[in-house]
Each structure stands twice: as structure tokens, then as C-alpha cells.
Amino acid sequence: MSRSTVVVRAVMMFVIGGGTGSVVTAQTAPADRPSTRDIIVTATRSVELAPDFAEVQIGVRTRDADAARAAEQHAVIATAVRAALRSLGFPAESLPTTGYAVQPEYDPQRNRPSGYSVQSTIQVHIHDLTRVGRVIDAALGAGANGVHGLSFESTRRDAMRLQAIERAVQAAREEAAAIARAAGGRLGALLEANSGEASIPYERAGRVMALATTDTPIEPGSLQVTATVTTRWEFLPNP
């Protein structure tokens, strides 16, 4: 009797902080089809790391019935904010303006402009995370009236992504071996692996708590780098 070809395929997804799940299907290939045996496993793993720099978006906004006066007031405040940040050791070239807009403000009852607003954003990169609150306080004290964004990052993100990929591949190998044993065989060689667009980095945002008596305390939290890999392994039946 000839032995029929068995195709074993499994899709595995690992959820951070959760359990695992699997779907295993087996089918017999027609006698005239080439012999193919493989196990396909997709696995996701994450690595946590501490951030080592922060990015703050400081906003300045002014309003006036006249656009020119609004722009003039804005220039005065923005200059003062930049001076306050430079006094903390940030050179002028490290404080780029990432947005500037002059917009009319409409009176909904009269359907005509009631005034104008001028707003801009100053981007600050902070490599000493203990100074984030001080930077925010200095900007607000100089006249800034908005913090449009606060994010934390790490210069080690790329290295941690590779580590997450390694862990995902190891998890895929272990699951594929378990599937092979359950199917009455053993795991063979790795035939194919890819991560594609499967690296999904995200961050747990820090918290900002404003207190009048001290620097605004900032809790950076931690970053997570997540990688997903899809692997295909050779399935070897037991002798």
C-alpha cells in the first residue's frame, strides 16, 4: 500500500498577557500531487524597554480681532518661550517650529469672521527624562498655552525589535514541534520565515500631573516592541 500525503497546517497567534490558540487541519492529497508536508505557524512576541529620550510639542496660540495684531502678540510670546527653553540649555537649532497657522474665527450667528488666531508648535527633544516636567513648566511660564504631544522613545528600539523577532521564531518553533508530535511525527527543517510588516511598535504613554508647588512630575512608563513572524517547517512522519 502506498502512503498518502498528509498536509498539516496550523495558524498560531500569541497574545501579550493572554493565552494561545491553534487551528490544525489535515487533508489527504490526491495520488498524482507531489508529496508535500509542512507546518505553518505564526507567532507574536514583545519586548519591553525603558525610554531614553522624550519629545514634547509645545503650543503657542494667540487671538485678536485683527490678524496682524494676533501675529505680533504670537511672535512676542513665542520668542519668550524659546528664550526660556534656551536658558535650560537647548540650543536654538534644536527647537524647530513644526507648525504655524493663521486662521479666522467665525461668529456662527453673523456668519463672518469675529477675529483671528495664530498658533505654532515648538518641538523639544529631551535626553534627560528627569527634566521633562521642568521643560514643560518653563514653556508654560513663558507664555505657552498648550502641550500638544508628549512621547517617549528609545535609541535601542531597533535592537529590541530583533530580539522580539528571535523570541517569536523560538515560540513558533516550539509550537510547530508540538503540532508535529501531536500529528504523529516530528519537526524537520525550517523551510521559510518572514516578518514582513509584522513589527508593530507601540508605547504606553507617560502621565503628566501638574502641581503648582514643584516641577510637573512625569512618569515615562515603558515601551513595547512587538514582532510577528510567519514560519513554515518540514513535517517528518515517524518511521
pLDDT digits (tens, 9 = 90+) for 119-156: 999 999 999 999 999 999 999 999 999 998 899 999 99
Contact by Cβ (8 Å): 105, 114: yes
DSSP assignment string, 65-93 = SSHHHHHHHHHHHHHHHHHHHHTTT--GG
Q: Is residue 20 scored above 60 in pLDDT?
A: no
Domains of the chain by start residue, with CATH: 6-46+156-203+222-237 (3.30.110.170), 53-153 (3.30.70.2970)
Query: 78 CB contacts (<8 Å, ≥6 apart)?
Result: 60, 120, 122
Asked if pLDDT for residue 30 goes beyond 50, the answer is: no
What's the chain's Rg over C-alpha atoms?
28
SS3 202: strand
| DSSP-assigned states of every residue in 98-159 | EEEEEEEEEETTTTEEEEEEEEEEEEEEES-GGGHHHHHHHHHHTT--EEEEEEEE-TTHHH
DSSP annotation of 26 reads: E
210 touches 225 (CB < 8 A): no
**51-65 pLDDT, tens per residue?**
999 999 999 999 999
pLDDT tens, position by position, 66-120: 999 999 999 999 999 999 999 999 998 899 999 999 999 887 777 777 899 999 9
pLDDT digits (tens, 9 = 90+) for 182-228: 999 999 999 999 985 433 344 444 444 443 445 778 878 888 889 99
Q: What is the mean pLDDT of residues 29-48?
A: 72
Please tell me the predicted confidence (pLDDT) of residue 196: 58
Residue 36: what pLDDT?
Answer: 56
